[in-house]
Structure 1
Amino acid sequence: MNLNLLIDNITNPALLFFILGILAVKLKSDLAIPDSSSKFISLYLLFAIGFKGGQELAHSDFNFQVSGAIIFGILLSAIVPLYVFFLVKKRLGTENAGAVAAAYGSISAVTFVTAVSYLEILDISFGGHMVATMAFMEAPAIIVGMFLIKQYSVESTTVKTKQVLHHALTNSSVLLILGSLVIGFLASEEHARGIEPFTTDIFKGFLAVFLLDMGIQSGRKLSDFFKTGFSNLYLAIGLPFVNGTLTALISSFFIDSLGDRFLLSILAASASYIAVPAAMRVVAPKSNPGIYLPMALAITFPINISLGFPIYMYILKLVASTS
Structure 2
Amino acid sequence: MLSALVSTLPSRRRLSLKWGMPPSSARPSCAISPRGATLWLLSPIWPGRCGPRRRAVGLGPGRRDPRREGKAGEVHLPRPLIVWKDRVMPSLDPVILFFLLGVLAGVSRSDLRLPAPIHDFLSMVLLLAIGLKGGVALSQQSLGAVLPQVLAVAAMGTLMPLLAFPVLRHLGRLPRADAAAVAAHYGSVSVGTYAVAAAFLAHHAVTFEDHMPVFVAVLEIPAIVVGVLLARGLARDTRWGRMAHEVFLGRGLVLLIGGVFIGLGAGPEGIAPIKPLFFDLFKGVLALFLLDMGLIAAGHLGALRRHGLFLLAFGLIMPLVGAVIGATLGSFLGLSVGGSALLATMAASASYIAVPAAFRMIVPEANPALSLGASLGVTFPFNILFGVPLYYQLALQVHALVEGL
Cα distance, 1:96 vs. partner? 0.4
Cα distance, 1:10 vs. partner? 5.9
**Alignment check: 8 A CA contact 1:101 1:145 kept:** yes
The C-alpha deviation readout for 1:55-107, integer Å capped at 9, x for no partner, is 1121123354x233312210111111112111112300110011011111111
Identity %: 36
**Alignment check: 8 A CA contact 1:262 1:316 kept:** yes
Q: Structure 1's 6 and 189: CA in aligned 2 closer, same or farther, altered over 3 A? A: closer
Distance 1:143 1:222 in 2: 28
Distance 1:84 1:261 in 2: 22
Question: What TM-score does the superposition give when structure 1 sets the normalisation length?
Answer: 0.93
**Alignment check: 8 A CA contact 1:69 1:255 kept:** no
Q: Report which stretch shifted further, 221-230 or 14-23.
A: 221-230
Question: What TM-score does the superposition give when structure 2 sets the normalisation length?
Answer: 0.75
Distance 1:43 1:189 in 2: 21
1:76 equivalent in structure 2? 156
Distance 1:320 1:77 in 2: 21
2:283 equivalent in structure 1? 204
Q: Say whether residues 1:33 and 2:114 are aligned partners.
A: yes
**Alignment check: 8 A CA contact 1:70 1:130 kept:** no
Distance 2:343 2:376 in 1: 19
Alignment of 1:161-310 (within 5 A): 161-310=240-389
Distance 2:320 2:104 in 1: 25
1:45 equivalent in structure 2? 126
What runs of 5+ residues in structure 2 fail to find an aligned partner?
A: 1-40, 47-78, 84-89
Cα distance, 1:157 vs. partner? 6.9
**Alignment check: 8 A CA contact 2:132 2:259 kept:** yes
Q: Say whether residues 1:104 and 2:186 are aligned partners.
A: yes
Give 2:349's aligned amino acid: S
Cα distance, 1:178 vs. partner? 0.4
Distance 1:140 1:203 in 2: 28
Q: Structure 1's 188 and 319: CA in aligned 2 closer, same or farther, altered over 3 A? A: closer
Distance 1:173 1:51 in 2: 14
1:93 equivalent in structure 2? 175
1:140 equivalent in structure 2? 222
Alignment of 1:111-122 (within 5 A): 111-122=193-204
Q: Structure 1's 190 and 144: CA in aligned 2 closer, same or farther, altered over 3 A? A: same
Runs of 4+ with >4 A deviation? none
2:101 equivalent in structure 1? 20
Distance 2:325 2:229 in 1: 25
**Pick from 139, 148, 157: which aligns with 1:58?**
139
Q: Find the residue that maps to 1:127 and give its secondary structure.
A: coil
**Pick from 147, 152, 157: which aligns with 1:67?**
147
Distance 2:283 2:326 in 1: 27
Cα distance, 1:254 vs. partner? 2.5
Q: Find the residue that maps to 1:28 and give its secondary structure.
A: coil
How many aligned positions are there? 319
Distance 2:318 2:188 in 1: 13
Distance 1:254 1:99 in 2: 29
Distance 1:69 1:188 in 2: 22
Distance 2:253 2:210 in 1: 16
Distance 1:294 1:249 in 2: 28
Distance 1:74 1:15 in 2: 29
Q: Find the residue that maps to 1:125 and give its secondary structure.
A: coil
Q: Say whether residues 1:5 and 2:80 are aligned partners.
A: yes
Q: Which has the higher Rg, Structure 1 or Structure 2? A: 2
Query: How large is the Cα RMSD of the aligned pairs?
Result: 1.8
1:127 equivalent in structure 2? 209
